[in-house]
Protein backbone atom coordinates (compact mmCIF):
# COMPACT_ATOMS: atom_id res chain seq x y z
CA UNK A 1 0.00 0.00 0.00
CA UNK A 2 2.59 2.54 1.15
CA UNK A 3 5.12 1.82 -1.67
CA UNK A 4 2.32 2.30 -4.21
CA UNK A 5 1.34 5.64 -2.63
CA UNK A 6 4.98 6.74 -2.66
CA UNK A 7 5.34 5.87 -6.33
CA UNK A 8 2.16 7.78 -7.16
CA UNK A 9 3.45 10.84 -5.27
CA UNK A 10 6.75 10.72 -7.18
CA UNK A 11 4.98 10.36 -10.53
CA UNK A 12 2.61 13.22 -9.68
CA UNK A 13 5.55 15.44 -8.68
CA UNK A 14 7.36 14.71 -11.95
CA UNK A 15 4.26 15.47 -14.02
CA UNK A 16 3.61 18.65 -12.08
CA UNK A 17 7.18 19.81 -12.66
CA UNK A 18 6.92 18.98 -16.37
CA UNK A 19 3.67 20.91 -16.68
CA UNK A 20 5.17 23.94 -14.96
CA UNK A 21 8.32 23.74 -17.12
CA UNK A 22 6.27 23.47 -20.34
CA UNK A 23 4.11 26.41 -19.32
CA UNK A 24 7.15 28.59 -18.73
CA UNK A 25 8.65 27.63 -22.10
CA UNK A 26 5.38 28.25 -23.92
CA UNK A 27 4.95 31.63 -22.26
CA UNK A 28 8.47 32.62 -23.27
CA UNK A 29 7.98 31.43 -26.85
CA UNK A 30 4.54 32.84 -27.58
CA UNK A 31 4.02 35.86 -25.38
CA UNK A 32 6.02 38.28 -27.57
CA UNK A 33 5.43 39.33 -31.20
CA UNK A 34 7.48 37.27 -33.64
CA UNK A 35 9.07 40.36 -35.18
CA UNK A 36 11.02 40.87 -31.95
CA UNK A 37 13.58 38.20 -31.21
CA UNK A 38 15.37 37.54 -27.94
CA UNK A 39 18.69 35.75 -27.49
CA UNK A 40 20.21 34.64 -24.22
CA UNK A 41 23.83 35.72 -23.80
CA UNK A 42 26.56 33.67 -22.12
CA UNK A 43 26.27 35.75 -18.95
CA UNK A 44 22.53 34.99 -18.74
CA UNK A 45 21.36 38.39 -19.94
CA UNK A 46 18.94 38.76 -22.84
CA UNK A 47 19.69 40.48 -26.13
CA UNK A 48 16.62 41.93 -27.84
CA UNK A 49 16.83 42.07 -31.64
CA UNK A 50 14.35 44.66 -32.83
CA UNK A 51 15.53 45.11 -36.42
CA UNK A 52 12.22 44.15 -38.04
CA UNK A 53 10.15 46.70 -36.16
CA UNK A 54 12.78 49.40 -36.66
CA UNK A 55 12.92 48.71 -40.41
CA UNK A 56 9.15 48.77 -40.80
CA UNK A 57 9.01 52.03 -38.87
CA UNK A 58 11.66 53.44 -41.22
CA UNK A 59 9.54 52.43 -44.20
CA UNK A 60 6.50 54.11 -42.71
CA UNK A 61 8.34 57.35 -41.95
CA UNK A 62 10.59 57.64 -45.00
CA UNK A 63 8.67 56.35 -48.00
CA UNK A 64 5.68 57.71 -49.85
CA UNK A 65 2.31 56.40 -48.62
CA UNK A 66 1.69 54.85 -52.05
CA UNK A 67 5.12 53.16 -52.25
CA UNK A 68 5.15 49.51 -53.34
CA UNK A 69 7.52 47.09 -51.62
CA UNK A 70 8.94 43.98 -53.27
CA UNK A 71 9.98 41.26 -50.83
CA UNK A 72 9.44 37.56 -50.46
CA UNK A 73 5.87 36.75 -49.49
CA UNK A 74 6.79 35.71 -45.93
CA UNK A 75 7.03 39.34 -44.81
CA UNK A 76 4.01 40.69 -46.65
CA UNK A 77 1.59 40.86 -43.74
CA UNK A 78 4.23 42.39 -41.46
CA UNK A 79 5.09 45.14 -43.92
CA UNK A 80 1.43 45.91 -44.57
CA UNK A 81 0.51 45.91 -40.89
CA UNK A 82 3.56 47.60 -39.40
CA UNK A 83 4.66 49.95 -42.20
CA UNK A 84 1.26 50.52 -43.84
CA UNK A 85 2.78 50.01 -47.27
CA UNK A 86 1.57 47.96 -50.24
CA UNK A 87 3.48 44.75 -50.97
CA UNK A 88 3.65 42.82 -54.23
CA UNK A 89 3.05 39.43 -52.60
CA UNK A 90 1.99 38.29 -49.15
CA UNK A 91 0.67 35.23 -47.30
CA UNK A 92 -2.68 35.57 -49.05
CA UNK A 93 -1.34 35.68 -52.62
CA UNK A 94 -2.98 32.80 -54.48
CA UNK A 95 -1.56 33.63 -57.89
CA UNK A 96 1.46 31.32 -58.09
CA UNK A 97 2.69 33.06 -61.26
CA UNK A 98 2.86 36.35 -59.38
CA UNK A 99 4.92 34.77 -56.59
CA UNK A 100 7.10 33.03 -59.18
CA UNK A 101 7.71 36.37 -60.90
CA UNK A 102 9.07 37.85 -57.67
CA UNK A 103 11.21 34.73 -57.24
CA UNK A 104 12.49 35.16 -60.79
CA UNK A 105 13.44 38.77 -60.04
CA UNK A 106 15.60 37.66 -57.12
CA UNK A 107 17.09 34.77 -59.12
CA UNK A 108 18.01 37.02 -62.07
CA UNK A 109 20.91 39.38 -62.60
CA UNK A 110 20.61 42.89 -61.22
CA UNK A 111 19.56 44.29 -64.59
CA UNK A 112 16.96 41.58 -65.24
CA UNK A 113 15.70 41.81 -61.67
CA UNK A 114 15.39 45.56 -62.06
CA UNK A 115 13.30 45.18 -65.20
CA UNK A 116 10.95 42.79 -63.39
CA UNK A 117 10.75 45.06 -60.34
CA UNK A 118 9.86 48.03 -62.57
CA UNK A 119 7.31 45.92 -64.46
CA UNK A 120 5.67 44.97 -61.15
CA UNK A 121 5.66 48.59 -60.00
CA UNK A 122 8.08 48.18 -57.09
CA UNK A 123 9.57 51.29 -55.52
CA UNK A 124 11.64 49.49 -52.88
CA UNK A 125 13.05 45.99 -52.40
CA UNK A 126 13.39 44.47 -48.93
CA UNK A 127 15.57 41.46 -48.10
CA UNK A 128 16.33 39.68 -44.84
CA UNK A 129 20.00 38.89 -44.22
CA UNK A 130 21.31 36.95 -41.22
CA UNK A 131 24.98 36.55 -42.07
CA UNK A 132 26.00 39.34 -39.72
CA UNK A 133 24.06 38.12 -36.67
CA UNK A 134 23.93 34.35 -37.31
CA UNK A 135 20.20 34.34 -38.09
CA UNK A 136 19.67 31.20 -40.18
CA UNK A 137 16.12 31.98 -41.31
CA UNK A 138 17.16 34.66 -43.78
CA UNK A 139 16.53 35.05 -47.50
CA UNK A 140 19.78 33.40 -48.55
CA UNK A 141 18.61 30.28 -46.72
CA UNK A 142 15.17 30.57 -48.35
CA UNK A 143 16.57 31.43 -51.75
CA UNK A 144 16.40 27.89 -53.13
CA UNK A 145 12.63 27.86 -52.58
CA UNK A 146 12.32 31.12 -54.49
CA UNK A 147 14.34 29.59 -57.33
CA UNK A 148 12.24 26.40 -57.36
CA UNK A 149 8.97 28.30 -57.42
CA UNK A 150 10.27 30.54 -60.20
CA UNK A 151 11.55 27.54 -62.18
CA UNK A 152 8.10 25.96 -62.00
CA UNK A 153 6.72 28.82 -64.09
CA UNK A 154 9.72 30.20 -65.99
CA UNK A 155 11.72 27.55 -67.84
CA UNK A 156 14.75 29.84 -68.19
CA UNK A 157 15.32 29.63 -64.43
CA UNK A 158 17.41 26.50 -63.80
CA UNK A 159 17.91 25.39 -60.21
CA UNK A 160 21.05 23.44 -61.10
CA UNK A 161 22.74 26.68 -62.21
CA UNK A 162 22.84 27.75 -58.57
CA UNK A 163 24.70 24.62 -57.43
CA UNK A 164 28.46 24.19 -57.55
CA UNK A 165 29.20 20.48 -57.99
CA UNK A 166 25.88 19.71 -56.39
CA UNK A 167 26.38 22.06 -53.42
CA UNK A 168 24.62 25.29 -52.57
CA UNK A 169 27.46 27.72 -51.91
CA UNK A 170 28.06 31.42 -51.34
CA UNK A 171 31.87 31.34 -51.19
CA UNK A 172 34.47 31.58 -53.97
CA UNK A 173 33.29 28.23 -55.34
CA UNK A 174 29.75 29.48 -55.90
CA UNK A 175 28.52 29.59 -59.47
CA UNK A 176 28.45 32.78 -61.50
CA UNK A 177 24.65 32.51 -61.60
CA UNK A 178 24.56 32.56 -57.81
CA UNK A 179 27.13 35.33 -57.43
CA UNK A 180 25.38 37.55 -59.95
CA UNK A 181 21.83 36.97 -58.73
CA UNK A 182 19.94 39.96 -57.40
CA UNK A 183 19.34 38.22 -54.07
CA UNK A 184 23.04 37.59 -53.56
CA UNK A 185 23.99 41.14 -54.45
CA UNK A 186 21.36 42.81 -52.28
CA UNK A 187 22.13 40.64 -49.25
CA UNK A 188 25.93 40.92 -49.53
CA UNK A 189 26.28 44.50 -50.74
CA UNK A 190 29.05 46.12 -48.61
CA UNK A 191 29.26 42.97 -46.52
CA UNK A 192 32.70 42.20 -47.98
CA UNK A 193 34.06 45.06 -45.89
CA UNK A 194 32.66 43.73 -42.60
CA UNK A 195 34.43 41.59 -39.98
CA UNK A 196 32.02 39.33 -38.14
CA UNK A 197 34.25 36.79 -36.41
CA UNK A 198 37.70 36.97 -34.86
CA UNK A 199 40.30 35.18 -36.94
CA UNK A 200 38.23 35.19 -40.13
CA UNK A 201 38.57 37.36 -43.22
CA UNK A 202 36.16 40.17 -43.94
CA UNK A 203 32.88 39.09 -45.47
CA UNK A 204 32.56 36.00 -43.29
CA UNK A 205 28.95 34.78 -43.32
CA UNK A 206 28.30 33.43 -39.82
CA UNK A 207 25.31 31.34 -40.98
CA UNK A 208 26.94 29.67 -43.97
CA UNK A 209 30.36 29.55 -42.21
CA UNK A 210 32.10 30.86 -45.29
CA UNK A 211 33.74 33.99 -46.66
CA UNK A 212 31.55 35.26 -49.46
CA UNK A 213 32.81 34.75 -52.99
CA UNK A 214 32.00 38.24 -54.27
CA UNK A 215 32.99 41.14 -52.05
CA UNK A 216 33.27 44.17 -54.32
CA UNK A 217 29.60 44.36 -55.27
CA UNK A 218 28.54 47.48 -57.12
CA UNK A 219 24.91 48.30 -57.78
CA UNK A 220 23.66 50.09 -60.86
CA UNK A 221 19.89 49.83 -60.72
CA UNK A 222 19.28 49.81 -56.94
CA UNK A 223 20.42 52.11 -54.16
CA UNK A 224 20.78 51.13 -50.53
CA UNK A 225 18.22 53.14 -48.61
CA UNK A 226 18.31 51.52 -45.17
CA UNK A 227 20.15 48.77 -43.32
CA UNK A 228 19.07 47.91 -39.79
CA UNK A 229 21.46 47.97 -36.85
CA UNK A 230 22.37 44.29 -37.08
CA UNK A 231 22.00 44.12 -40.86
CA UNK A 232 18.99 41.85 -40.50
CA UNK A 233 16.75 43.97 -42.72
CA UNK A 234 18.09 45.66 -45.85
CA UNK A 235 15.97 47.99 -47.98
CA UNK A 236 16.90 49.25 -51.45
CA UNK A 237 15.33 51.91 -53.61
CA UNK A 238 14.51 50.97 -57.18
CA UNK A 239 16.18 53.76 -59.07
CA UNK A 240 14.43 55.77 -61.78
CA UNK A 241 16.24 55.57 -65.11
CA UNK A 242 17.66 59.11 -64.77
CA UNK A 243 19.33 58.33 -61.43
CA UNK A 244 21.31 55.22 -62.36
CA UNK A 245 25.01 55.37 -61.57
CA UNK A 246 26.71 52.45 -63.35
CA UNK A 247 30.37 53.13 -62.66
CA UNK A 248 30.59 55.07 -59.43
CA UNK A 249 33.09 54.02 -56.75
CA UNK A 250 31.58 51.93 -53.95
CA UNK A 251 31.77 54.83 -51.48
CA UNK A 252 29.40 56.91 -53.61
CA UNK A 253 26.60 54.38 -53.59
CA UNK A 254 23.77 54.59 -51.07
CA UNK A 255 24.82 53.81 -47.50
CA UNK A 256 23.20 52.50 -44.36
CA UNK A 257 21.23 54.97 -42.31
Tell me: the pLDDT tens digits for 210-219? 999 999 999 9
Write down the pLDDT at residue 253.
Answer: 38
Binned at pLDDT 50, 70 and 90, residue 24 comes out as very low
> What's the whole-model pTM score?
0.80
Q: Which tens digits make up the pLDDT trace of 80-96? A: 999 999 999 998 888 89
Confidence of residue 33 (pLDDT cuts 50, 70, 90): very low
C-alpha span between 126 and 105 (Å, rounded): 12
Mean pLDDT for the chain overall: 85
pLDDT digits (tens, 9 = 90+) for 86-128: 999 998 888 899 999 999 999 999 999 999 999 999 999 999 9
| Three-state secondary structure of 71-140 | CCHHHHHHHHHHHCCEECCCCCCCCHHHHHHHHHHHHCEHHHHHHHHHHHCCCEEEEECCCCCCCCCCHH
Amino acid sequence: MFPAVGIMVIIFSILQHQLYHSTILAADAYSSPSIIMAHKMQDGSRLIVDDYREAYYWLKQNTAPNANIMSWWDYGYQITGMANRTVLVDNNTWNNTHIATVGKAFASTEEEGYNIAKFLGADYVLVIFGGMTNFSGDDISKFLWMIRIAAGVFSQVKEENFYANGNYRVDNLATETMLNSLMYQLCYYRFGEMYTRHGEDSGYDSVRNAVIGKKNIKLTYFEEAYTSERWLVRIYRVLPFAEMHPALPESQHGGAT
